[in-house]
């Protein structure tokens, strides 16, 4: 079953996180750099091998979202300050990122 859409998505610039919340769990802060490095687009992942081609070292440390938007009712689109804007973060992916972040806290 695909993940439900988050109940809230907020950019907390001072904390440097995108805060995502679902109705059944507390909000989780996803660090900008972490989210940017896990961009799922074809420019960041090799579509055939599934291998990540984006080198995190190439992403500016102070990368931040410029704008958020929605793609249909299934994904979050993020325009990044490094000019990257092709990533669509599905609810499934956001939930996976949230899981990784809450584990490392």
45 is an interface residue for Zn ion by CB under 5 A? no
Distance, in Å, from the CA atom of 8 to the CA atom of 80, rounded to the nearest integer, reads 19
Handedness of CA 32, 91, 98, 29 (dihedral sign): positive
Are 32 and 64 within 8 A, CB to CB?
yes
Residue list 67-86, contact with Zn ion (CB under 5 A): none
State yes or no: residue 87 binds Zn ion (CB under 5 A). yes
Q: Note whether 21 binds Zn ion by CB under 5 A.
A: no
Q: Is 65 in the site for Zn ion (CB under 5 A)?
A: no
Q: How far is the CB of 54 from Zn ion (least distance, A)?
A: 6
User: Using the rule CB under 5 A, is 44 a contact of Zn ion?
Assistant: yes
44/75 with CB nearer Zn ion: 44
**Least distance to Zn ion, CB of residue 55, Å:** 12
What distance in Å separates the CA atoms of residue 81 and residue 65, rounded to the nearest whole number? 6
CA–CA distance, 23 with 33 (Å, rounded to integer): 25
Q: How far is the CB of 87 from Zn ion (least distance, A)?
A: 4
On whether the CB atoms of residues 52 and 66 are closer than 8 A, the answer is: no
Judged by the rule CB under 5 A, the positions of this chain that interact with Zn ion are 39, 41, 43-44, 87
């Amino acid at each position: 079953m695909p993940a439900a859409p988050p109940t809230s998505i907020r950019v907390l610039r001072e904390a440097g996180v995108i805060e995502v919340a679902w109705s059944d769990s507390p909000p989780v802060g996803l660090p900008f750099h972490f989210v940017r490095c896990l961009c799922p687009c074809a420019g960041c992942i090799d579509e055939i091998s599934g291998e990540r081609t984006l080198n995190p070292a190439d992403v500016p440390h102070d990368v931040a979202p410029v704008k958020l938007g929605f793609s249909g009712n299934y994904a979050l689109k993020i325009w990044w300050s490094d000019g990257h804007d092709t990533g669509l973060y599905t609810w499934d992916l956001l939930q996976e990122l949230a899981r990784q972040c809450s584990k490392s806290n």
